[in-house]
Amino acid sequence: MKKFLFILFFIIGTNTFAAEVKMNFTKDAFESAQKAGKTVVVNSWNKWCYTCVKQEKVIKEAKKDFKDILFLSYEQKNKDIAKYLNIDHRSTIVIYKSNKEIFRAIGITKKEEIYSLIKKGI
């Protein structure tokens, strides 16, 4: 019975950790920013991914600190976007600058690491 209650609590509790990320990725916005030479940060997430939730907290903060950078997000279940960007995993962050991929990382959640990646695109 204790195991059942633990599992039930875990399932219900997981809903509270679901990522509240809004998908704002569009091919047009991505390509326009690249043509303009802007730095673009794309993150692939899944609403049930705890790592993605942690990343999103840092990315929200980064949006305030790096105002000249375009931040785009999409949910990994959008296979067309994933294929277009060649991203196979949720919790992937990719930095682009002027039509080039600068850096790609999967599963990083520390602010210092994510900010370091972003700075490589500046």
Q: How confident is the model at residue 76 (pLDDT cuts 50, 70, 90)?
A: confident
- Looking at the DSSP bridge assignments, the partners of residue 93 are 43, 105
Cα torsion at 114, 61, 91, 99 (round to 10°)?
-70
pTM above 0.95?
no
- Taken as a whole, the chain contains a residue count of 122
Residue type, 36: A
Residue type, 11: I
Domains and CATH numbers, the chain: 2-120 (3.40.30.10)
Distance CA(66)–CA(44), nearest Å, equals: 19
**Element housing 3 (H / E):** helix 2-16
**pLDDT by residue (tens digit) across 43-72?**
999 888 999 999 999 999 999 999 999 999
**pLDDT by residue (tens digit) across 77-110?**
889 999 999 998 889 999 999 889 999 999 999 9
